[in-house]
Structure 1
């Protein structure tokens, strides 16, 4: 009950993105019946807009996988509205299909998100897509944000297109969601993704840890999960999540935990969970702390150099300025930083 006493119900909803239904299930506060009804009515109204968006996606005839959001809520709770979902996440396996799908959605009233601009130049767009893993689009009529992913993650699962296709092959299944058959991740890959997604941001939203707490472990084949974790060097993420569940919920993941988590990775996550949200402009000490954290969770020279290469470039610069070689963006980052500092002081 420590977290229930630390955070108000309002903070659990806004800061940690838990639904009132989840808070009630956790026993973290008294929720009035009227509040639960209001939440359910809002969620059902949002589902109508999601239905429309899914219709539009299917019209494109582009293969996509639905993940997170309503698919995860359906898997965990048997109810697509139980868990709060603020956007619609899909995974598209071919980058060229992302462009085709974007054009299709633009024709139906969707817009590129201001914070995630589309780059028309093919070469620079390719560089950009190497550094992030999704493109966001907004539909003002539906009041719905869609994230079109071409990779599952840019930190722990930074895969090339053919590597992603290899991972996805054999790890998807059909699920009945909103009275339609939708392709989703199989439980083993979905659960590994939850570990990745939570660890990437230090579980700063409790919602991600609760997803793991409530996950239907009986649907997970541990032998397959173990193979995936070993192949992608992610065993430490399972250990970390287990330690956090023990710390905050006095429960454990019902799978063999074969090692211990580095103490600092637990303390880092606790700081993120219990502390203030970090701003996009992190301090130098926060950057160093983060890099150490990522290295301990995914050790190895390859992971280290990938992380360094990623942090050497500010991905927004690919859309802000046109340079003719990728390496030039490593140097431009410092010019970009100076410009932003000057603009803040004006």
Structure 2
């Protein structure tokens, strides 16, 4: 893979490398011939399974290795992947039904709704909802419809996650709110922005004008236009350090299916995320050998190459998102994703009071405005107490 670019992949384990090699095998290829015998020597199959599940690519892995006739892979690996594959298929069918129900409920009550991920993009990108995993249903609505959406979801049994809030900080620090159905065990994320502030993005009406209709349900279900979906998935994956290969596999599938290059480049320029697109393209090219074609000039930027190398560090591990997000390395990486203007606003947001300030010093609600000048001192106090 050295002939493509210059990412250092030397720390990637043999088990993760085999995972990547299986993903790269085309459906029409003879997978037994494509995978060399030396891949399997001195191999940790438990780690292989752990990585397949951690990266949420086990449906694709199972769909490919089940065609492998050679007995190189232990039977328990097949059995585990088969079990996970079946469970995921049932979950995706369950989510599809709920997606249709929520879409109908919102539409009948004049709330415009666009699904961001889940079964709609599994069908769009892979042609089969069983080949992609989804933990929950992510959907986008105008922020003006948020209160109405909450009432509608509560009417069908959903419970809103309680988020600490001071001076409406949720509008500045969050971009979605979580709802959970205790009986159905389904989680919904209602977004009013695609990404957290200060990342620049299209307004809802633009996205609504370019929306598409999914054909996997009998009732109309809307999802993002092709170019909007591509840039959303790029930004989402970048923001999470691409620590799950599933997100990069989405990009790989979109590139192989082809996108409107002229329209995509126009949106990239408008929303100033060429470095993020470049990062995704480099990773897809080096890890999956994805054909880039007309977008290849975006892979030449120094920022894109640096971000891609940073992401390799997240990809090669098996840590949870919570552990990754708490690290200083990730926080520095996240800050580096922003443009100069976005970095300025990012720093401004840091000065906005949070519930931690209220927890550190309880003030009556009429005095909550005092948290603005007090925030630097309260932050320093918390840091000092941690160091003791």
| Pairwise TM-score range, normalised by the shorter structure | 0.7 to 0.9
Counterpart mapping for 1:1-346 below 5 A: 5-7=14-16, 8-18=47-57, 20-24=58-62, 30=73, 32=78, 35-36=81-82, 39-45=85-91, 47-48=93-94, 50-52=96-98, 54-60=100-106, 61=109, 62-93=111-142, 95-114=143-162, 117=163, 124-125=167-168, 127-155=169-197, 157-159=199-201, 164-215=203-254, 217-259=256-298, 260-262=300-302, 263-275=305-317, 276-277=319-320, 279=323, 282-284=326-328, 286-291=330-335, 293-295=336-338, 299-300=339-340, 302-313=341-352, 316-317=355-356, 328-329=371-372, 331-332=374-375, 335=378, 338=381
- Say if 1:71 and 1:177, in contact at 8 Å, map to a contact too: yes
| Partner SS, residue 14 of structure 2 | helix
Deviation at residue 63 of structure 1 after TM alignment? 1.4
Deviation at residue 118 of structure 1 after TM alignment? 7.2
- Say if 2:13 and 2:316, in contact at 8 Å, map to a contact too: no
Unaligned runs of 5+ in 1: none
TM-score by length of 1: 0.80
Structure number, greater radius of gyration: 2
| Alignment partners' CA distance in 1, 2:269 and 2:224 | 19
| Alignment partners' CA distance in 2, 1:289 and 1:216 | 25
| Alignment partners' CA distance in 1, 2:337 and 2:80 | 43
Q: 1:171-190: CA deviations, max 9, x gaps?
A: 21212123332111111110
Deviation at residue 133 of structure 1 after TM alignment? 0.8
- Say if 1:155 and 1:200, in contact at 8 Å, map to a contact too: no
Task: Check 1:198–1:289 CA distance in 2 against 1; reply closer, same or farther (3 A cut).
Answer: closer
Q: 1:152-202: CA deviations, max 9, x gaps?
A: 00157445xxx5134314321212123332111111110111111111121
Deviation at residue 283 of structure 1 after TM alignment? 5.0
Judge which range, 303-312 or 59-68, deviates more.
303-312
| Alignment partners' CA distance in 2, 1:335 and 1:323 | 19
Q: 1:86-113: CA deviations, max 9, x gaps?
A: 10111002x2311111122123221122
Q: What CA RMSD, in Å, does the superposition of the two structures yield over aligned residues?
A: 3.5
- Say if 2:212 and 2:224, in contact at 8 Å, map to a contact too: yes
Task: Check 1:99–1:118 CA distance in 2 against 1; reply closer, same or farther (3 A cut).
Answer: farther
Unaligned runs of 5+ in 2: 2-8, 17-46
TM-score by length of 2: 0.72
Q: 1:242-300: CA deviations, max 9, x gaps?
A: 21123222334233322413242122111111244562773556534442x214xxx33
| Alignment partners' CA distance in 2, 1:311 and 1:330 | 13
